[in-house]
Each structure stands twice: as C-alpha cells, then as structure tokens.
C-alpha cells in the first residue's frame, strides 16, 4: 500500500500545482515500449506480404488443377488454399508419418527443390480411380506398390506442369518431378533448421477430402523474394494481361469448328417423283458438270470451287473468293 500524505503535504502540493511549480505531466506513467522477442532459431525470412503473394499464386494453381484433373479421374475435383505459414524444415518433416507421398520437384531456374506432400487417403483414392474403381480410400494404410507409384507419378507430373502459368508473373519456371518419396527421412532436401514457407491446400476428390502441402524453401525463393509482393505481382499481371488475352482469344478462335459445304446443284421435282425414287434413278440438277460449285461457310456463300479428289476422298479446289470479311 502506498504512503498516505498528511493534510499539510496535500495543501503544499495543491499550492505548487496552482503556482505552476509542479508539472503533472512529469509524474504520469508513460507506457513502456513493447519489445518483441527475436527467435534466432527461426529467423523471420518470410513476411506476411510474401506469404499472401504465395497464396495468390497457388489459388491460381488450384483453379487450374480443378479444371484439368477431372478429365483423368472422372470425378469433380475441388481445391482451395486454406493457410500459409513460415516454419523450419524440421517442423515440417517431424509432422509427417510414414508412408507419405512426397513429390520432390526441381524448380529450375531457381536453386534447389520444392516438396509437394499429398495426403495418403487422396493418393489411394487417385490410384483406385485411375484403375477404374470408385475412388474409395483404403481402410488400413499400407506401403505403395511400384505400379501405384507409377500411376501417382503421372498425376504429380500433370499437376507440376500446371505450376508454370501461376508463376509466370514472378519467374519463368520449368518444374520437373525428380522422384516420389514415401519415407520422410529420404526427403532431406535442405538443412532441418532452414526456413520454409508452407502453403496448405484443401483438396476434395468426390467425397474424399485431404490436404496438399507445398513446401517452398527460402533458399529456393531467395532470388525472387523482391518480386513476391502483391504490388509487383498485380502490376506485372496487368501489363501482360492484354496481350495474353488477345493470344488466348486468337488461339480459341483458330481452333473453333465451322461447317463448310460444297453444293453440287439444285433440282425441283414433283412429290410423285420423289415418292417413287429408287436406287439407280438419276436426278438432273441445274448445273453443268464442268461448272464451278458454290462453297458455303455456315450460311454464307464464300468460295467458288471445282470438284475433284484427294487421298481417295472427294474434295474441291478453291478457284475464287466470293466475299472477304
């Protein structure tokens, strides 16, 4: 308990306050500056901005995988980024339990490798679907066979190739699957104390739900860390989007299927003649045999052509362009 002032001392304090001899501000407790502990075992190499940019990149990756993978698995695939954090590599590997599915990915031209971990229940479900099953996961976890690993290598390769586009605004990468490990002890790609960024993705294949973890070592991303910020990422995306979308639209249009038909001629016959037509009957048309044919694109008369053959198929040779639009 604090010391109690006498009435005389209180009167003297009030007198000094009135005369200005005593400054109250000098006696107000100022809040002490908060000091944050720095963990030298876990240096802060990834900022929140870095992690947010990685989330944006892998959200794009999720959309691509969700679009492409159903063609192989015959089932709807849903993926979304749920978290990102910076930890040491030992914390990542210590949380794994064998057998695991670890895809070791060469991230050229960046230094070193990244690791893609896929939940075991998703791995078994993928194998079952690729072999014609319903995609039910195993009730009891077991080691993967060589055939199963070969199947999973194909799916990993498909997903890894889809990494190129999301990373395009940061660096042109050429990712390549080096191997798949089922034992975490054989996946020591960096020192256990090295910092990594982990992007966690929730993946759903039909009714089977599991996680995919992307492990990105700092030493691999070090050369592009200055580009891993949303301001740079969006500015680069905006400057390249116009040209990219033009290319995409032109490519899509160039692959579009359009109907083309060559009309030999026309004829008008009675209903009675039509009803009595038999195999071998001849219908006269309003065109000489040496005359040019009309070639329509859709419903538009576009070309004149002469009939002929090519590689044992009927064909026409364009002789004149009617309309150019």
Average pLDDT over residues 88-109: 90
Asked if residue 252 belongs to a domain, the reply is no
pLDDT at 1: 47
Q: Is 298 left (phi over 0), alpha (psi -120 to 50) or beta?
A: left
Q: Are residues 297 and 149 in the same domain?
A: no
The yes-or-no verdict on residue 80 having pLDDT over 50 is: yes
Q: Is 265 left (phi over 0), alpha (psi -120 to 50) or beta?
A: left
pLDDT at 271: 87
Q: Are residues 199 and 266 in the same domain?
A: no
Q: CA distances (Å), 308 to each of 292, 305, 312, 313, in order? A: 11, 10, 10, 9
CATH number, position 197? 3.40.1550.10
The yes-or-no verdict on residue 215 having pLDDT over 60 is: yes
Domain enclosing residue 268, as ranges? 260-273+283-321
Q: How far is CA 55 from the centre of its chain?
A: 11
Asked if residue 39 belongs to a domain, the reply is no
Q: Are residues 201 and 308 in the same domain?
A: no
Q: Are residues 183 and 291 in the same domain?
A: no
pLDDT at 113: 93
pLDDT at 13: 76
Per-residue pLDDT tens digits for 6-50: 777 777 777 777 776 766 666 555 555 666 665 555 567 888 888
The reported pTM is 0.61
Q: Are residues 109 and 188 in the same domain?
A: yes
Q: Are residues 213 and 71 in the same domain?
A: yes
173 φ/ψ angles, rounded to the nearest 5 degrees: -100, 155
Per-residue pLDDT tens digits for 304-322: 888 888 888 888 888 888 8
Asked if residue 227 belongs to a domain, the reply is yes
Cβ atoms of residues 208 and 122 within 8 Å = yes
pLDDT at 81: 94
**pLDDT tier, 201 (very low <50, low <70, confident <90, very high otherwise):** very high
Q: Are residues 93 and 238 in the same domain?
A: yes
Strand order in the sheet with 300-310: 260-263, 293-297, 300-310, 313-321
The share of the chain scoring above pLDDT 90, in percent, equals 33
Cβ atoms of residues 197 and 218 within 8 Å = yes
**pLDDT tier, 122 (very low <50, low <70, confident <90, very high otherwise):** very high
Cβ atoms of residues 200 and 82 within 8 Å = yes
Q: Are residues 218 and 293 in the same domain?
A: no
Query: In this structure, what token pair is assigned to residue 82?
Result: 């749920």
Q: Are residues 177 and 309 in the same domain?
A: no
Q: Are residues 212 and 102 in the same domain?
A: yes
Cβ atoms of residues 77 and 65 within 8 Å = yes
Q: Are residues 178 and 104 in the same domain?
A: yes
Count how many domains the chain has.
Answer: 2
Query: In this structure, what token pair is assigned to residue 169?
Result: 């605004």
Give the DSSP letter string of 49-94.
HHHHHHHHHHHHHHHHHHHHTHHHHSS-EEEEEEEEEEEEHHHHHH
Mean pLDDT value across the chain:
83
């Amino acid at each position: 308990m604090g010391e109690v002032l006498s009435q005389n001392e209180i009167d003297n304090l009030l007198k000094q306050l009135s005369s200005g001899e005593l400054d109250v501000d000098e006696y107000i407790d100022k809040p002490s500056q908060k000091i944050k502990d720095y963990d030298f075992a876990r240096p802060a190499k990834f900022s929140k901005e870095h992690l947010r940019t990685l989330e944006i990149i892998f959200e794009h990756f999720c959309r691509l995988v969700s679009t492409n993978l159903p063609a192989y698995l015959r089932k709807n695939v849903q993926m979304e980024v749920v978290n990102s954090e910076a930890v040491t590599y030992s914390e990542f590997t210590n949380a794994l339990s064998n057998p695991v599915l670890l895809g070791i990915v060469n991230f050229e031209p960046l230094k070193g490798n990244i690791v893609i971990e896929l939940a075991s229940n998703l791995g078994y479900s993928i194998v079952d679907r690729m072999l014609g099953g319903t995609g039910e996961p195993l009730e009891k976890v077991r080691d993967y066979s060589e055939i199963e690993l070969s199947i999973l290598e194909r799916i990993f390769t498909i997903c890894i190739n889809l990494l190129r586009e999301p990373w395009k605004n940061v660096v042109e990468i050429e990712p390549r699957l080096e191997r798949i490990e089922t034992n975490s002890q054989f996946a020591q790609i960096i020192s256990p104390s090295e910092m990594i960024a982990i992007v966690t993705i929730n993946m759903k294949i039909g009714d089977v739900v599991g996680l995919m973890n992307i492990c990105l070592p700092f030493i691999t991303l070090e050369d592009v860390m200055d580009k891993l910020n949303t301001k740079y990422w969006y500015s680069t995306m905006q400057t390249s989007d116009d040209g990219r979308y033009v290319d995409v639209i032109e490519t899509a249009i160039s692959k579009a299927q359009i109907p083309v038909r060559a009309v030999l001629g026309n004829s008008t016959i009675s209903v009675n003649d039509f009803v009595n037509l038999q195999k071998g009957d001849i219908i006269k048309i309003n065109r000489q045999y040496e005359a040019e044919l009309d070639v329509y694109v859709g419903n538009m008369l576009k070309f004149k052509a002469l009939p002929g053959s090519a590689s044992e198929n009927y064909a026409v040779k364009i002789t004149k362009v009617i309309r150019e639009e």
